[in-house]
Amino acid sequence: MANVKVEHLVVQYGTVTAVDDVSFTIGEGKLAALLGPSGCGKTTSLRAIAGLEPITSGNIAIGGRVVAGDQVELPPEKRDINMVFQSYAIWPHLTVFDNVAYGLRVRRMRKPEIADAVNRVLETVGLSEFANRMGTDLSGGQQQRVAVARAVVTEPSVLLFDEPLSNLDAALRVRMRGELRGLQQAIGKTALYVTHDQQEAMAIADVILLMNRGRIEQMGPGEELYSAPKTAFVARFIGSANMCPGRVSRVLPGQGYVVDLDDGRSCATALGGCLDLKVGDKVEVVIRPEDIDIAVGTAPADAVNSWDATLTERTYLGNVLEVRAKVRDGALVSIDSNPHLQAKVGDAIALHVDPERVVCVRQDAESCYAAKEGDAVSEFELQRLRQLDRIVS
């Protein structure tokens, strides 16, 4: 096993900055997910670690050895890593056994050693009975396991995954992400996993690195990013949320804030993501749908974070009732409620949320960093759109 340490990584293409001053450390045996929207820099970061993209500046170290930076740029085969690609890259003219054995044969290992290693890995991924079948005569999930087996059999220190489940149907993706996580834990390898699927990242990762515009917005366990987002971007990207704009009207030292919302309500919040707000700052209050309680009738006049509303929409989904309610000035609130709620569309209801479940983030920027209009990252996104326009036309 080995840790992965990235310090001040920058990857530029001419004047375009795809990865902008990214730093993180992944501990030995941990699985980290690089998560974010298309064009955020997650795949470029992964490819830079793999040695498939040259870096502009910064340092990348694997197991304490610098593999890129400080006038060092080791080729991929010298970095003690292996990678599972989105396309799997299974050779159709080779059997499952031969696909998995390929890397060992390149290393000129003896045949008995190759057979032992391949059979052991095929048993681990549950493909022993398919060893003599042609590589592409398998289902999508089985081909994905072949790709993982081929990456694991050479015993690299670090495994890299570039959206390996994106070609599978939804049900198979859910099953395979559990299998991947179980395999990673069984073999104890450090792993970096690129995905744009937040549920996938939260299901398999010890730590999530949420990227936006080439930088890391927030890094931590999935639960932390969901319950304590530090920026509006994180709150919107991870799960669903009611985002209510307003201004700080009171600061409660060591406790949180009182925010006057733009729709006329007042909302008390815990400290949440922003710890240095002052009176008058523009903010957004983040309230998760499952944290809102509903009662039929009207809210007590003196209750904290209790508001009168009208139920406008209810959608029964079996284990949960999705409710939409209208509060002051027509603002709509989404709530995940008990499916046995008796209130009907048009009924008066009272909404309540515990201040401890409310988070406050800045409204004037969706990032921890000061994004400037016309910066290199924005130019990168524009160039991608221009290239797409040329391809389509």
Indicate where the chain has its CATH 3.40.50.300 domain(s). 4-227
Interacting residues of 115 by C-beta distance below 8 A, sequence separation 6+: none
Indicate where the chain has its CATH 2.40.50.140 domain(s). 241-362
The CATH fold assigned to 241-362 is: OB fold (Dihydrolipoamide Acetyltransferase, E2P) (2.40.50)
What global pTM score does this model have?
Answer: 0.83
Sheet with 266-270: list strands edge to edge: 266-270, 256-261, 242-252, 282-287, 358-362
Q: What is the pLDDT of residues 204-237, one digit of tens each?
A: 999 999 999 999 999 999 999 999 999 999 999 9
The continuous run of DSSP H or E covering 81 comes out as strand 81-84
Q: Crossing angle of helices 111-124/96-106, nearest 10°?
A: 130
210 contacts 237 by C-beta, under 8 angstroms: yes
- What's the rounded Cα separation, in Å, for the pair 304 and 307? 9
Phi, psi of 310 (to 5 degrees): -120, 130
- At 351 the pLDDT is 93
pLDDT digits (tens), the chain, 393 positions: 689 999 999 999 988 899 999 999 999 999 999 999 988 999 999 999 999 999 999 999 999 999 999 889 999 989 999 988 888 788 889 999 999 998 899 888 999 999 999 998 898 888 899 999 998 888 888 888 898 888 888 888 999 999 888 877 788 788 888 888 888 888 888 999 999 999 999 999 999 999 999 999 999 999 999 999 999 999 999 999 999 999 999 998 778 899 999 988 899 998 655 668 899 999 999 999 999 999 988 888 778 899 999 999 999 999 999 999 999 777 889 999 988 888 999 999 999 999 999 998 988 554 443 333 333 333 444 444 344 333 332
144 contacts 166 by C-beta, under 8 angstroms: no
Interacting residues of 106 by C-beta distance below 8 A, sequence separation 6+: none
CATH for 4-227 is: 3.40.50.300
